[in-house]
């Protein structure tokens, strides 16, 4: 039975300890500040700053304080001995944020775009720990992740690899490669799935620059595997990015949701062993929640069903990734709203488990998936929407050593604006 203690003083703090599960929780209003060995601590001085920590590293959803109600996304920074290091930009969904924190790693959250550190696309490979199958002289593997196109990694063989070890799970869905010359015949971008290397993307020539977008993955290790080359290749830069899924912050709607005999307008009902039934949510938002275990299902609309994402402001889009439950769709369109009418930006046939669509960039406040034909009611697991970020040239990148690096940027080194207590926050959070 849990024991609760309410702290007086008008701050509505409630501490609970469950004797059965041995779990401690601390809440303030509807904000959970501590649960087990996880911490989510708003700044006590009222500033829009939240300190986060997970002893074991796990995925969790946290409710933001009331004074964050106007925040559309948050920027997550790791707290290091040398200051803040940008990690990710996280969409706010219904006043909550969901993220998998690294094991025993302290973080601070700020409203998205509230600091000057986040400028341009963030290259997650920059300055990371690397190893390689081989290196030639001073052309070492670290040169491929130093942000400098004038240095390079050159292996001694034609089939070779170099590996990035992030030290924690990192999200990625796009890579940019730059080769000195044009010798590579085939290559793969691979990530470690815990037991073996798995290909995220396979390509042929690289040349001056190759941009590869692929389905999002999370891993602590990524490698570039050069499978064939006419001679020993040289890689000037290998950049890795995590473009934000715009659909996570969009308002989802649909032509219909699946109905059933139990009158649950947005639920499907199934039968389990025994004499009971269960129901699960299939409303439109389930196709835009970033989870492959849920989906949107239309109701008796095999043809003409639609799924829509509406944004608060105009967004730019050049990539959509679709996933279907089953393989019923045989014809579909992607359409944008121009303020007066819908126009088609892409037409396709089947979707299946994965359909990646890269398009010429366009601007819109709404985009929808129109199912023109389907063998049965369509069920869409994910409707992901992206604007691919900028490449290396001319962009600012936040590097792991907490310094801003750029080409052709004048003036003094920018101030980091660090809270002097933040590098020591790990000790404070882990001791709570």
Highest mean pLDDT among 79-88, 120-129, 248-257: 248-257
Higher pLDDT, 86 or 314: 314
Mean pLDDT value of segment 398-402: 29
pLDDT beyond 80 at 142: yes
- Whether 389 has a pLDDT exceeding 90, the answer reads no
* Fold of domain 247-386: Jelly Rolls (2.60.120)
Res. 398 pLDDT band, cuts 50 70 90: very low
Residue bearing the bigger pLDDT, 238 or 112: 238
Rounded CA gap, 237 and 115, in Å?
Answer: 27
pLDDT, average across residues 127-140: 94
Helix (H) or strand (E) holding 430: helix 425-430
Q: What is the pLDDT of residue 100?
A: 80
Q: Which of 46-50, 110-114, 153-157 is the least confident region?
A: 110-114
- Listed in order, the ranges of the chain carrying CATH 2.60.40.1180 are 37-118+421-430
pLDDT band at 269 (very low <50, low <70, confident <90, very high): very low
Per-residue pLDDT averaged across 84-113, rounded? Answer: 84
Q: With 80 as the cut, is the pLDDT of residue 404 above it?
A: no
Q: How far apart are CA 381 and CA 400, in angstroms?
A: 35
Assess whether pLDDT exceeds 70 at residue 10: no
pLDDT in tens, 13-44: 888 888 777 888 888 888 999 998 899 999 88
What pLDDT is attached to residue 23?
A: 84
CATH topology of domain 37-118+421-430: Immunoglobulin-like (2.60.40)
| Comma-separated ranges of CATH 2.60.120.260 domains in the chain | 129-243, 247-386
Q: Which of 259 and 243 is assigned the larger pLDDT?
A: 243
Q: What is the mean pLDDT of residues 38-51?
A: 89
Distance separating alpha carbons of residues 127 and 146, to the nearest angstrom: 6
In this predicted model, which residue has the larger pLDDT, 3 or 150?
150
What 3-state DSSP class applies to 233? coil
Note the pTM of the prediction, 2 decimals. Answer: 0.61
Residue 266 clears pLDDT 50, i.e. is over it = no
Whether residue 177 has pLDDT greater than 60? yes
The per-residue pLDDT for 418 is 35
SS3 per residue for 339-399: CCCEEEEEEECCCCCCEEEEEEEEEEEEEEEEEEEECCCCEEEEEEEECCCCCCCCCCEEC
Is the CATH number 3.40.50.300 carried by domain 129-243? no
CA distance 283 to 285: 6
Q: What was the pLDDT predicted at 238?
A: 96
327-360 residue pLDDT tens = 999 999 999 998 889 999 999 999 999 999 999 9
Query: Are 163 and 223 spatial neighbours (Cβ–Cβ below 8 Å)?
Result: yes
Cα gap 349→118, rounded to integer Å = 39
Average pLDDT over residues 400-426: 33
pLDDT digits (tens, 9 = 90+) for 421-430: 443 444 444 4
The confidence score (pLDDT) of residue 176 equals: 93
In the predicted model, is pLDDT for residue 307 greater than 70? yes
Q: Please spell the DSSP secondary structure of 131-188, one letter per residue.
A: EES--BTTB-GGGGGSS-TT--B--SSSSEEEEEEEEEEEEEEEEEEEESSS-EEEEE
pLDDT on residue 258: 64
Q: Is the pLDDT of residue 410 over 80?
A: no
Of 257 and 161, more confident: 161
What value does the mean pLDDT take over residues 396-414? 29
């Amino acid at each position: 039975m849990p024991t609760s203690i309410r702290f007086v003083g008008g701050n509505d703090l409630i501490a609970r300890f469950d004797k059965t599960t041995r779990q401690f929780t601390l809440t303030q209003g509807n904000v959970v500040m501590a649960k087990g060995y996880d911490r989510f601590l708003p700044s006590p001085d009222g500033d829009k700053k939240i300190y986060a920590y997970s002893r074991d590293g796990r995925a969790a959803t946290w409710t933001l304080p009331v004074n964050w109600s106007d925040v559309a996304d948050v920027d997550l920074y790791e707290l290091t001995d040398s200051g803040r290091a940008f990690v990710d930009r996280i969409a706010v969904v219904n006043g909550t944020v969901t993220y998998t924190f690294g094991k025993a790693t302290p973080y601070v959250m700020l409203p998205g775009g509230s600091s000057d550190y986040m400028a341009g696309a963030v290259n997650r490979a920059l300055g990371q720990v690397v190893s390689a199958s081989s290196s030639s002289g001073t052309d070492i593997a670290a040169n491929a992740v130093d942000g400098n196109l004038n240095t390079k990694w050159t292996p001694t063989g034609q089939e070779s690899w170099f590996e990035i070890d992030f030290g924690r799970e990192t999200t990625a869905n796009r890579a940019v490669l730059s080769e000195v010359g044009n010798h590579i015949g085939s290559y793969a971008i691979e990530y470690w799935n815990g037991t073996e290397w798995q290909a995220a993307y396979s390509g042929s020539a690289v040349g001056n620059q190759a941009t590869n977008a692929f389905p999002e993955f999370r891993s602590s290790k990524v490698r570039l595997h050069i499978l064939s080359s006419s001679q020993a290749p040289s890689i000037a830069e290998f950049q890795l990015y995590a473009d934000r899924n715009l659909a996570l912050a969009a308002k989802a709607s649909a032509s219909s949701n699946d109905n059933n005999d139990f009158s649950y307008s947005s639920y499907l009902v199934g039968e389990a062993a025994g004499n009971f039934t269960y129901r699960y949510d299939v409303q439109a938002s389930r196709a835009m929640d970033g989870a492959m275990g849920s989906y949107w299902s239309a109701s008796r609309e095999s043809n003409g069903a639609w799924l829509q994402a509406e944004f608060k402001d105009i967004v730019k889009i050049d990539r959509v990734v679709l996933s279907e439950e089953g393989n019923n769709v045989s014809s579909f369109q992607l359409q944008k709203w121009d303020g007066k009418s819908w126009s088609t930006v892409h037409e396709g046939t089947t979707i299946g488990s994965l359909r990646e669509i890269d398009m010429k960039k366009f601007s819109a406040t709404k985009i929808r998936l129109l199912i023109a034909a389907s063998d049965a009611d369509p069920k869409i697991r994910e409707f992901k929407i992206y604007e691919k970020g900028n490449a290396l040239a001319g962009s600012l990148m936040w590097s792991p050593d907490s310094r801003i690096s750029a080409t052709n940027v004048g003036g003094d080194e920018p101030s980091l604006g660090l809270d002097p207590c933040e590098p020591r926050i790990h000790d404070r959070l882990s001791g709570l």
